[in-house]
Structure 1
């Protein structure tokens, strides 16, 4: 465990930021509790437990073999995974869809010639695109939806042009970036062990209940209720949960939450002319690249005169640097592929540079 911590530069970096800010700018304990976003961390814990249980049951491996056997080409399989990921992100949120799709992709990669890390990068882009359309697709949309009190369908209709540009670009990228050729199934690597039906049922039911509890703002209670059956019946699953990912996100929330409320940052916000649509748009994207799009939403919410314009900006800001969206970090952590971060940036940064002006032009033209 200590060796893993020593090599986890993301965790160490945000722990250092948190400590430095706590010493340089002391704040009350209540501020740290607010920055920690306990419901979000509890939801993440619940999802980690459920998905680890689904993995351990063997269900993912069998689904992977079935999908590969029915795919005609690498590009067709890529489009299937990207479309499924985007659709799930609209309904189950971006984090949940990644927890389902990335393990499936890793299982597919073990039994076929699918380029795993390319697919994971495309899936990270897909959850950012798909979740843009839905008021419940990601935390920033949920926050802005509750703030604006817009009807569900009106919110989605407003975000439709932004999603449309993102998804079309994503489909083009998928077709151009994935190699040609058929999917080759390595039959000798297919996991022939039977599915553990009891563990599969427990884990899938736990996932459904966790999503339901999160949707009704009972994430902490949901996570606590999950711990009991898994502690009694599946202790090995709890031992294999990526607990360091949970600690990493706690450090990110504390460090970025504190940084966003520093007096120089607040003075800089007061100096921006956010009444200008382009200024708000560019500011939201740039802030997302520095502190992630959820803290950026919180940072600008009281200063932005147009909350839906802010929604467009911070959703576009999920592309680019990995920190732009916490979903990017989850995808990289779940994949655990060498060079994953470098590959993500090689694709996501150019994607942002192409996507941002196109979204702005379409949004202003249709608006």
Structure 2
């Protein structure tokens, strides 16, 4: 694929243990529900990162450089804010108020896809996945069906919906931070507004057809009640005000850069400041701090380290060699290369570390801040790639972990892949058609 980034910093001998470790880590993830194996995926990835250091596939200094702290700080800040919304009961209240209008199985399917998907665009798909999982499980119990169809619907919804904005998911944030594009919010919503809704609509049709028999045999759930859900009105009010202020800050940063003001401030700043502000001014700081999803932060830190080690061991080179070579001279060929490589390598690397690596590839090939369509292609294609397998997106892992925490059997690797392959092919085709159209405008 590229030139300078294919040069391993370690010896060629590191390839053998790297491939063995790669097989071990991904083998454990794929077979984690076989014969009673219940290792959490964040723990498997953490073990992989630790073994990478122990086997000297990556040095400690390289591991520190591999961690994208802007992403970690952004996630920490947003997780604090969402923890405040959740601890107060406000986030659950909002979700139930939305879902209580759904009185048929197909409406519930549509509401989960559309509404929770759009919430993900502004509150990060990982956080909505975490909060909504127990609610979705409760709905499945009331409907007398397996929770799997609704959990898979949730996974697809928060992934596709998060494509809409630069803060919907970590990979979009990476692109907006590193591409240098002007006003990421306006660019993302301009190019991806219609494709996002089109992908949600076609996914609804696929899911309703795929799980038709289960939905036909389900019961109409009783009315949900949102009474007495908000446990702490003061915390709810403060968390909401700060969260809305942070989101306004995201738009303000985009506007400032659009009018030509040179600043190093990015989206991670308001998120981190907002999260720290909430911890300082609220009396429930201990509860909020403990409810932060530290497992997901550990997963991201470990994943950055592990994937850097796999890069050093030339594992990524082998997989990358089967995909089209990216060229900056032909926009259409570049879009095709980005989409196909995103779909494939996101399953191996997960979409966030894949984007972290591919950003450098694009920049080394001369893709500039003005090549907006190529950056949009990278963000959106890597996002939709998360629907192919449970390894493609961290939000899938979060739903699995949250379901197991509630002692519910979630989707298996193979069931997710069976329907995810259909959804991914169709939505990628829709995205490709729109990107092709934009390239001619």
Name the TM-score, length of structure 2 as normaliser. Answer: 0.67
Question: Offset of 1:172 from its aligned partner?
Answer: 0.8
Name the TM-score, length of structure 1 as normaliser. Answer: 0.78
Correspondent of 1:286 among 329, 338, 344: 344
Question: Offset of 1:321 from its aligned partner?
Answer: 1.4
After superposition, the Cα gap between the structure-2 partners of 1:256 and 1:350, relative to the gap in structure 1 and judged at 3 Å, is same
What is the 5 A alignment of 1:57-96? 57-59=88-90, 62-63=93-94, 66-67=97-98, 69-96=100-127
Write the deviation string for residues 25-53 of structure 1: whole angstroms up to 9, x where unpaired: 34352x32332233433343444444444
Write the deviation string for residues 124-183 of structure 1: whole angstroms up to 9, x where unpaired: 212222222333333333333451525544443333564355223212134333614663
Correspondent of 1:253 among 304, 315, 318: 304
Corresponding residue of 2:284: 233
Distance 1:236 1:161 in 2: 40
Corresponding residue of 1:298: 356
Distance 2:85 2:145 in 1: 22
Correspondent of 1:338 among 388, 391, 409: 409
Kindly indicate whether the alpha-carbon contact (under 8 Å) linking 1:46 and 1:210 is maintained by their aligned counterparts in 2: no
Kindly indicate whether the alpha-carbon contact (under 8 Å) linking 1:290 and 1:324 is maintained by their aligned counterparts in 2: yes
After superposition, the Cα gap between the structure-2 partners of 1:59 and 1:225, relative to the gap in structure 1 and judged at 3 Å, is closer
Distance 1:206 1:116 in 2: 34
* Alignment gaps of 5+ in structure 1: 1-5
Write the deviation string for residues 212-269 of structure 1: whole angstroms up to 9, x where unpaired: 6787422444444444455x43534544544333323322222124434555646986
What is the 5 A alignment of 1:1-367? 7-22=38-53, 23-27=55-59, 29=61, 31-59=62-90, 62-63=93-94, 66-67=97-98, 69-106=100-137, 108=139, 113=144, 116-146=147-177, 147=179, 149-152=181-184, 153-160=186-193, 162-176=195-209, 177=211, 179-180=215-216, 183-185=220-222, 195-205=231-241, 207-208=243-244, 216-218=267-269, 219-229=271-281, 232-233=283-284, 235-260=286-311, 262=313, 265=316, 273-275=325-327, 276-277=333-334, 278-304=336-362, 305=367, 306-336=374-404, 337-342=408-413, 343-361=415-433, 363-364=435-436, 367=439
- Structure (1/2) with the larger helix percentage: 1
Question: Offset of 1:10 from its aligned partner?
Answer: 1.4
Kindly indicate whether the alpha-carbon contact (under 8 Å) linking 1:60 and 1:103 is maintained by their aligned counterparts in 2: no
* Alignment gaps of 5+ in structure 2: 1-36, 251-265, 328-332, 368-373
Write the deviation string for residues 245-300 of structure 1: whole angstroms up to 9, x where unpaired: 33233222221244345556469868962124434432221111111122222222
Write the deviation string for residues 4-25 of structure 1: whole angstroms up to 9, x where unpaired: xx94341332123212322333
Distance 1:194 1:312 in 2: 35
Kindly indicate whether the alpha-carbon contact (under 8 Å) linking 2:58 and 2:312 is maintained by their aligned counterparts in 1: no
After superposition, the Cα gap between the structure-2 partners of 1:118 and 1:353, relative to the gap in structure 1 and judged at 3 Å, is same
After superposition, the Cα gap between the structure-2 partners of 1:151 and 1:121, relative to the gap in structure 1 and judged at 3 Å, is same
Kindly indicate whether the alpha-carbon contact (under 8 Å) linking 1:260 and 1:295 is maintained by their aligned counterparts in 2: no
Distance 1:28 1:194 in 2: 45
Question: Offset of 1:185 from its aligned partner?
Answer: 1.3
Aligned residue pairs, count: 359
